[in-house]
Structure 1
Amino acid sequence: MKIQEIETFYEEKLRMMKPVDYWVKQQVEHAKERKTARAHTIWVGLTGVAVVLALYFSMFGLEFKSGDQWRLLPLGLVAVFFYWPVRLLVRKYLSHLHMEQDAGERIVLTQEFLAMSRGDDNEEGIVFSSEERLLILNSLFRHTQTGIVRDDGSPPNILDLITRQPR
């Protein structure tokens, strides 16, 4: 390699290592948030199951009589009270899992780009054309989605259904 090519590669490597450092930090942060969301999901879910079971046994004991169906309504309300936070926590977990994987992919892409540019010990590196370089850099610096799940709204209420315009 010529001195000019080595200098160019070194400058390229320095420019590309800053994004790698950023994505490593992002990957670590998303892994931490993912683990926290998983722990909260498990805690809220198990607490909900325990509360519903405790309420059931305090209301019915070990036997359920045929006239007691109406008494299941409070159990259903309590179950819904715990279901909604678990649902949101699972979405948060999946979102951080997705962003952690995305950061990991970007790290690998950047490192492979640098390795291909440099080449192995026995061969010279690949010289990318400007179109190839633009394609690689666009895939590295693309917009990150905030997660897998996009639908996070509550179900429509009666007012929404009444005021909705027919298509």
Structure 2
Amino acid sequence: MSIVLETARLQLRPCQIEDLLLVHELWTSDRIRYFLFDNRVISLEESRSFIEDSLSNFERHGYGLWLIFAREISYLAGFAGFLPSEEAIPSLIYGIHPNLWGNGYATEAANAVLHYVLEELALPKVRADVDEPNISSVQVLEKLGMKRTGRAVIKGHPLLYFELYRSEDIT
């Protein structure tokens, strides 16, 4: 399944096995893994497993992980998409290459994937969780119109939970 999403500045395409080395390099960079994997360096096989799960999720649910490419940048700008959850409510996940932080790419890409699952797939609700100290990601979720629904400490890490319903405005 190849669902390409486009915005004014970005093109998002589903992550493929052929992207393994590219994605693994991004996911293991110290500034990305700090919040994404609790600062753990994941193995190449773990990255492969995430990509395989994403491909399977696209087949089963119509969503997974998209890679983000900015039109004026020659390298991978980041990723955005959804992970399935036990309650069948997808969970938003995203990350932008540290060299591109502060340019609005996270908000733009997350908005594109949110619009796709809420409007095109007509899912009623999505969720997100974010490490509480990750202020920039909290601000992205708030800009997207997601509402904070809770807080928890998991394995010593404070997390904030957010939700967005299809009937709510997507920016």
TM range (shorter): under 0.3
Q: Could you say which structure has the greater relative contact order, defined with CA pairs below 8 angstroms and 6 or more residues apart?
A: 1
**Structure with a larger share of its residues in strand:** 2
Largest Rg, 1 or 2:
1
TM-score, normalised on structure 1? 0.22
Which is richer in helix? 1
Q: TM-score, normalised by structure 2?
A: 0.22
